[in-house]
Amino acid sequence: MKKRGTGMACFFYGTGYGNGFPDVSTATVEIHDDGTATIHTGAVDCGQGSNTVLAQIAAAELGVPYTWVTVISADTDTTPDAGTTAATRQTYASGNAVQMACRQARETLFEYTRTLLGVNTVAGLVAREGVIYVKSYPAKQIPYPDAATRARLAGYRLVGQGSFVTHTTAVDRETGQGAPYWPYAFGTQIAEVEVDTETGQVQVLKLVAAHDVGRAVNRQGVEGQIAGGIGQGVGMALLEKVHLQEGRIVNNSFSTYLIPTTMDMPEVEPLIVESYEPTGPFGAKGVGEPATIPTVPAVINAIHNAVGVRITELPVTPEKILAGLKEKKV
């Protein structure tokens, strides 16, 4: 007999290194004569899409099309240190660094351009889609490439550097008080599973995942992160286990260490909650590890809801389900 159940899990998770540990990210930018820009950052894009996000942040801050931005990343010979790609921090930490660097370079360009357009301060200018114009009189404008070329010929160096340090404090050992992380991610996942009471097999049918990501800089990327995190969570819940024998891993290949395939993936319904984080780049936070955290408890709770068996050791194998059902009958 197959029985269905639903389970929910909620979480909060601090991004960055935390607990007062220095968490610093640095980036540089140069605006070229043709209006394009090159970003240098040590942030490693290992598939999560940070290069894309950093290019989007730079384009928005500079006021140029996304295609005008080139990101050079993770080159220890040419890029400044941006910290590790870990702790769900690169969008937040390196995103802030890139935004700061771009703002500095843009302000230098604006300082020259304001004299061309006849405004008193750089605050009177706006840049959008490769055009710089007067905020109160948009018809008065100059193309970005023209302004950049003329500024350079006038002796202006259109470069910027930004270093962002996350603001955390170590927890007091006596009182337990402090602000060990900032910002925090929040979310809830609801799992629907189907449990075969004859074989003990569990199939995760659907996961609804609501995640507070601050502002979603790249919505498709956020949805991909959520789906990928859930895939890892399903693997942790039902399949993955390292087997050791005399201190050596004996299932050290994909033929013996089981991970989810596309056939094991449930339907994923991502619900992106945009709360706007005031300390983040354009309000963004992160969604890397948070996408995985609530999946396992949501699945475990759904299994309990379906067959009344509470599993306390991972992964949830058919043998454990059958043993739980047998003990329940006894």
Catalytic residue ranges: 289
Query: Does the residue 311 lie in any domain?
Result: yes
Query: Does the residue 174 lie in any domain?
Result: no
CA 57 – CA 235 distance, rounded (Å): 33
Query: 129-145, pLDDT tens digit by residue?
Result: 999 999 999 999 999 99
Q: 7 and 58 share a domain?
A: no
Query: Does the residue 325 lie in any domain?
Result: yes
Domains held by the chain: number: 2
Q: 154 and 68 share a domain?
A: yes
- Please count the other Cβ atoms lying within 10 Å of the Cβ belonging to residue 16: 23
In this prediction, residue 330 carries a pLDDT of 57
In this prediction, residue 290 carries a pLDDT of 95
Q: 58 and 156 share a domain?
A: yes
Query: Does the residue 175 lie in any domain?
Result: no
Q: 94 and 211 share a domain?
A: no
In this prediction, residue 2 carries a pLDDT of 96
52: confidence class by pLDDT, cuts 50, 70, 90: very high
CA 38 – CA 250 distance, rounded (Å): 46
Q: 160 and 191 share a domain?
A: no
**What is the SS3 assignment for 89?**
coil
Q: 270 and 309 share a domain?
A: yes
Range of the domain at 119: 24-164
Query: 212-267, pLDDT tens digit by residue?
Result: 999 999 999 999 999 999 999 999 999 999 999 999 999 999 999 999 999 999 99
Q: 135 and 190 share a domain?
A: no
Query: 257-316, pLDDT tens digit by residue?
Result: 999 999 999 999 999 999 999 999 999 999 999 999 999 999 999 999 999 999 999 999
**What is the SS3 assignment for 310?**
coil
**Buried residues in 304-322 as b, exposed as e (16+ CB within 10 A):** bbbbebebeebbbbeebbb
Mean pLDDT of 136-158: 97
Query: Does the residue 173 lie in any domain?
Result: no
Which CATH number covers residue 232?
Answer: 3.30.365.10
Q: 281 and 241 share a domain?
A: yes
